[in-house]
Chain A
């Protein structure tokens, strides 16, 4: 039976911890001077990206290469996808080439779940629509553990566009399973209905979400949301919902600042916070490679 990583919704706390422990070990490889292990020797990893991506795609590609896998990338522009090929047909083509791990990003929620039913390869969800981005949440959790020592009992504030965010959903699933308390804050127009049912607190402001937080995570605001009328202006957004030094004072004095990237400076977070000493944003990027190495390694060895 093959194993996939479609979302943290499907994983138990033990499975998540197993990935995080493995990732912690992998991080030593990422930080070492000789980045080559035989973990995925002879395996083929294909990155199938239907949406633009810099860090996630490169992170998966490097993770595969550090473990000696054959790695290939397909992006939707310049491929058969741009010629109108369906996901099903593309999947069967890739499957027929002997792929072991298929990493997919897609703008439609549930696309990797569909793909998983069609291919023999293990499917890793690299972000599907507004649904999940499990490796992002895993790398966020790994970063939190490195800085705070544990997840259980942490207060994590996530602020920004929760409505369109797959990052927030995966983080809520993962963090609540490991015993953290999650608060989400943002403008009411960017909060999806029923989010509280996922086990977090939801506020239509930022300060209540941030109070006493150990971790403050900004979520990317897609600037085209403003054109759709979901908030009036960037200026007003930052004034009421952006996080700067003053607002961060509501959090614990040693709170860390996170962001999944790419960041809009002066929108979700002030530039001084992004570049300040409480920012762990670049650590997140490093953790990303380690988490993806762990996920692919474990999938090739029978799952989590």
Chain B
């Protein structure tokens, strides 16, 4: 089976390509880039990508697929289906499942299920500590051998600084990155960002310092031992500045932010909107500006969704009782184009770097590239074409999105995973 993607604007930052050209796919792999052979008489499927962008499939390194254990919220099948519909062909899934992904068996289970029912490539993230309890190291080596690409206690901070130090040292031996959920619990107990908006609604505020204190700690721990750390879902100006300074000093720190931290502010919580409740919380307009600055100057390496599907009953309730988090896989590219590319914060090539190339590089996986010989994971979209978010039509089981009715751009028109055209002219093919 051969596939030709013809006349598309290929943006492949990993290989320095940003031009109109052709891509051949053969046996699931990219076989040629650039040539325009005489195709007469050949049995070949052709996608006319004229006027569209042909990019490496997006890599989202922060996703909650909820399986095993919380299939009522999401499972590997529905979560990866949502991913491909958003142009995301590889996801790293967080270990706060039930049972926790803190051992080889659960890592293997997730990979097996993904092979059976998944639409996208799935890369499990193992826990740092057994049971996410922050006390004893999980079997990081065995998980790495089983296919875990990173470790994280995401959803919970590693409170004990010595524990974080040992995790960075230990994970390094197996070449997996430590992803840190930064939140000082004593400063972080609350419902939304601390400040006038929370006060006027009588909601408990979460200080930006809750995130910054622990980000600073992780940077200093990594620096002291010469290790690597990746800071998850950063949301504040202070964290951007800490990481910017650390990178200047040569600390091996990378980080990610999420579309909601550049697309929304804390005011989205007004009216007790539980679909704007998340952790870290939505921040102020000044923080949004700082996140954009950090994206533009390279301080922030990646854009991830922190896709966090929940059951409607967990969101249609009192704000204080509502679960944290929103779904994001199907809106991340659109928000990136609308809020970053259209506003001149990033070029399209830089956006793709942060949504595909850099996450793949940080995780050490062979994704985010359209080089010959690579598995053909490709996303094709028209960034000028508007579309409107309708949460009832999301492919995720979770409908907890604050973007209902938003006009975005660049809904993926074709999505190819390992050479299979899974989204064809906006339609899911299986």
Residues in A lying within 8 Å of B, measured CB to CB: 9, 86-88, 106-111, 113-114, 128-132, 166, 169, 192-195, 197-198
- Chain A residues, Cβ within 8 Å of B195: 193-194
Task: Please tell me if B313 contacts chain A, counting CB pairs below 8 Å.
Answer: yes
- Chain A residues, Cβ within 8 Å of B320: 107-110, 129
Contact call A114/B202, Cβ cutoff below 8 A: no
Closest beta carbon of chain A to B86's beta carbon, Å: 30
Contact call A169/B202, Cβ cutoff below 8 A: yes
- Chain A residues, Cβ within 8 Å of B67: none
Contact call A194/B199, Cβ cutoff below 8 A: yes
Contact call A106/B203, Cβ cutoff below 8 A: no
Residues in B lying within 8 Å of A, measured CB to CB: 191, 194-205, 271-272, 313, 316-321
A-B contact pairs, 11 of them (CB 8 A): A110-B202, A110-B319, A113-B271, A131-B201, A166-B202, A169-B200, A193-B205, A194-B194, A194-B195, A194-B196, A198-B199
Closest beta carbon of chain B to A232's beta carbon, Å: 18
Contact call A109/B199, Cβ cutoff below 8 A: no
Contacts known (A114-B272, A192-B205); A197 close to B199, Cβ less than 8 A? yes
Closest beta carbon of chain B to A105's beta carbon, Å: 13
Contact call B204/A130, Cβ cutoff below 8 A: yes
Contacts known (A108-B321, A109-B319); A86 close to B201, Cβ less than 8 A? no
CA distance A198 to B200 in the complex (A): 7
Contact call B318/A110, Cβ cutoff below 8 A: yes
Closest beta carbon of chain A to B157's beta carbon, Å: 20
Contact call A109/B203, Cβ cutoff below 8 A: yes
- Chain B residues, Cβ within 8 Å of A131: 201-203
Contact call B201/A193, Cβ cutoff below 8 A: no
Name the contact of A130 in the complex, choosing from B194, B202, B272, B318 (C-beta under 8 A).
B202
- Chain A residues, Cβ within 8 Å of B317: 86-88, 114
Closest beta carbon of chain B to A159's beta carbon, Å: 17
Contacts known (A114-B272, A192-B205); A108 close to B196, Cβ less than 8 A? no
Closest beta carbon of chain A to B25's beta carbon, Å: 50
CA distance A192 to B205 in the complex (A): 8
Contact call B196/A88, Cβ cutoff below 8 A: no
Closest beta carbon of chain B to A7's beta carbon, Å: 9
Name the contact of A128 in the complex, choosing from B191, B202, B205, B321 (C-beta under 8 A).
B202
- Chain B residues, Cβ within 8 Å of A194: 194-200
Least CB separation from A192: chain B residue: B199
- Chain B residues, Cβ within 8 Å of A197: 196, 199-200
CA distance A195 to B317 in the complex (A): 26
